A and B are shown apart, each in its own frame.
Chain A
Amino acid sequence: MIYVDRYKCGYCGTCVAVCPEAAIDLLETFIDINDNMCKACDICVKICPIGALVDEE
């Protein structure tokens, strides 16, 4: 599961742009990951400018 560190996240939506499953939404200051759609490919984790996303296996 991908976990968002809300203290780090700058809610820029870069993760949304790269998600191949369209599983991520950005709502104002809130990144919402749909766990049913997420395939844990980790591209969002890697692209994040500050490392606010973490894959917790």
Chain B
Amino acid sequence: MKNRYDIVVVGAGPGGSMAAKVAAMGGLDVLLVEKRQEIGSPIRCAEGVSKKGLKKFLPQIKKEWISCEVEGARIYSPDGTMVEMAEEMAGSEVGYVLERKIFDRDLATLSGDAGADVYAKTNVTDLVLKDGVVKGVKGKHLGRSFEVECNLVIGADGTESKIGRMGGIDTTLKPIDIESGVEYIMTDIEVNDLCNFYLGNDIAPGGYAWMFPKGDNMANIGLAVLGKYLIKKNVKRPIDYLNKFVKEHYKDGKIVSVVFGGIPVSRPIKTISNGIMLVGDAARFTDPITGGGILKAMESGIMAGETAIDAIEAEDFSENELKKYEDKWRPTIGMKNERNYLIKEFFINLSDEKLNDLARSINEVKIKEMSVTGLIAMLIEKNPKTLENLSEILLKYL
């Protein structure tokens, strides 16, 4: 490890690795550090991504990254009414279920190939600040203290998001803005090539349960509950909800892995301060409806990497210069997340009966547009009166 870098990227998830890759390709001296001893492990994810979305950032998809391809999705309302979204033509896969242990490590490798220095088991514990300006980072590498000089830090440190807090950005999530998730990777499961979603206030209040196929007879089966429903006294925990769900739907499955994790579902926050940019989960970029954050981490990582190149060129690391990063994400990721936050707020307040009614209104139709907005547009078309508020939200963000 050198004593000085142009930028230090903290966290080697998809966000940090893309930021490091782009910055290194732009000629910057980049250090990418990951506190875990194994990048990508243990996973905290259900591993679903859209095929088109992934190809946008990585034209060359390696087969080792993919556990399984999926052709569409099924959504089950509380009484089991099923809504299917699938491509017209069989065999046209729209999504991947990844193998993130390999995917995350390969992304970090790509940043290394681009010239970044990469170190695992290297934890950033402090920022070195002088008069509120970033001068470097301190941390531990294999237990030994180190200090590195730099003018720019990219906080890609995931849900924990401590780099932001060290730099004066309050990234603390309130219980209404985080989902608490738990998942089993199970075998002996009958799978289809669809992602399955289960809604209901007794299944996963304020969230949903999922079953994503992961190959032959294997699946990621999990759920997430909105924090708001966990803070009352004597409530069930996400693990209790999952055990009940598995007992009802997949009781013969065998549990080969257990996964835990928090998923931010907040409105966009501030993501810059002098010498600091936050990307991915650290910036709370996960989609408030789906909880998907892999692609948003990658997209924001690229944006931050590009902004870093400009900042180094201009020798300006001020918050004002880094506004370029916010200018990139606000109209794209920010706009969608703002809209989806409002849509989520609408849906989590619906009773089970209402969800059943809505599902029944569209369970006979073919939904061609494979997206949350496609689904919602269809719901509005069939229920214009009851979903008036929702269509207003959608129109506002067209």
- Which A residues are within 8 Å of any B CB, using their own CB? 10-14, 16-20, 22, 25-28, 43, 46-51
In the assembled complex, which residues on chain B have CB atoms less than 8 Å from the CB atom of A47? 175, 178, 180, 227, 230-231, 262
In the assembled complex, which residues on chain A have CB atoms less than 8 Å from the CB atom of B237? 48-51
18 additional A-B pairs beyond A16-B162, A18-B227, beta carbons within 8 Å, are A10-B259, A11-B42, A13-B158, A13-B159, A13-B261, A16-B159, A16-B160, A17-B160, A17-B264, A27-B35, A43-B175, A43-B231, A47-B180, A47-B231, A48-B180, A49-B181, A49-B237, A50-B238
**CB of B123 within 8 Å of the partner chain:** yes
Q: Secondary structure of the B side of the interface?
A: mixed
In the assembled complex, which residues on chain A have CB atoms less than 8 Å from the CB atom of B264? 17
Which listed residue, A12, A19, A20, A25, touches B260 by the CB 8 Å rule?
Answer: A12
- Rounded to whole angstroms, the CA-CA distance of A50 and B159 in the bound complex is 17
Which listed residue, B44, B172, B175, B227, touches A12 by the CB 8 Å rule?
Answer: B44
Which listed residue, B123, B175, B239, touches A46 by the CB 8 Å rule?
Answer: B175
Which listed residue, A10, A28, A43, touches B37 by the CB 8 Å rule?
Answer: A28
CB within 8 Å for A49 and B160 given contacts A10-B258, A12-B44, A28-B36: no
- Rounded to whole angstroms, the CA-CA distance of A26 and B260 in the bound complex is 14
Contact B36 A14 (CB under 8 A): no
Mask, B295-318, CB within 8 Å of A = 1, is 000000000000000000000000
In the assembled complex, which residues on chain B have CB atoms less than 8 Å from the CB atom of A25? 162
Contact B182 A49 (CB under 8 A): yes
Contact B239 A18 (CB under 8 A): no
Contact B178 A14 (CB under 8 A): yes
In the assembled complex, which residues on chain A have CB atoms less than 8 Å from the CB atom of B238? 49-50
Query: B155 → chain A, closest Cβ, in Å?
Result: 13
Chain B, range 144-163, C-beta contacts under 8 Å to A: 158-162
CB within 8 Å for A26 and B160 given contacts A18-B172, A18-B174, A46-B231: yes
Query: A43 → chain B, closest Cβ, in Å?
Result: 6
Contact B35 A28 (CB under 8 A): yes
Contact B35 A14 (CB under 8 A): no
Contact B172 A14 (CB under 8 A): no
- Which B residues are within 8 Å of any A CB, using their own CB? 35-37, 42, 44, 123, 158-162, 165, 171-175, 178, 180-182, 227, 230-231, 237-239, 258-262, 264
In the assembled complex, which residues on chain A have CB atoms less than 8 Å from the CB atom of B160? 13, 16-17, 26
Contact B260 A50 (CB under 8 A): yes
Give the most central of A10, A17, A22, A48: most B CB within 10 Å. A17
- Rounded to whole angstroms, the CA-CA distance of A47 and B238 in the bound complex is 9
Contact A10 B178 (CB under 8 A): no
Contact B173 A18 (CB under 8 A): yes
Contact B262 A13 (CB under 8 A): yes
Q: Can you list 27 A-B pairs with a CB-CB distance of less than 8 A?
A: A12-B260, A12-B262, A13-B158, A13-B262, A14-B178, A14-B261, A16-B159, A16-B160, A17-B161, A17-B178, A18-B174, A18-B178, A18-B227, A22-B172, A25-B162, A28-B35, A43-B175, A46-B227, A46-B230, A46-B231, A47-B178, A47-B231, A48-B180, A49-B181, A50-B239, A50-B260, A51-B237
In the assembled complex, which residues on chain B have CB atoms less than 8 Å from the CB atom of A46? 175, 227, 230-231
Query: B5 → chain A, closest Cβ, in Å?
Result: 23
Leading 9 A-B pairs by shortest Cβ distance: A14-B262, A10-B260, A12-B260, A16-B160, A49-B238, A49-B182, A50-B239, A13-B160, A12-B261
- Rounded to whole angstroms, the CA-CA distance of A19 and B172 in the bound complex is 7
CB within 8 Å for A49 and B239 given contacts A12-B44, A18-B173, A18-B175: yes
Report the nearest A residue to B282, measured CB to CB. Answer: A17
- Rounded to whole angstroms, the CA-CA distance of A29 and B260 in the bound complex is 12
- Rounded to whole angstroms, the CA-CA distance of A47 and B159 in the bound complex is 13
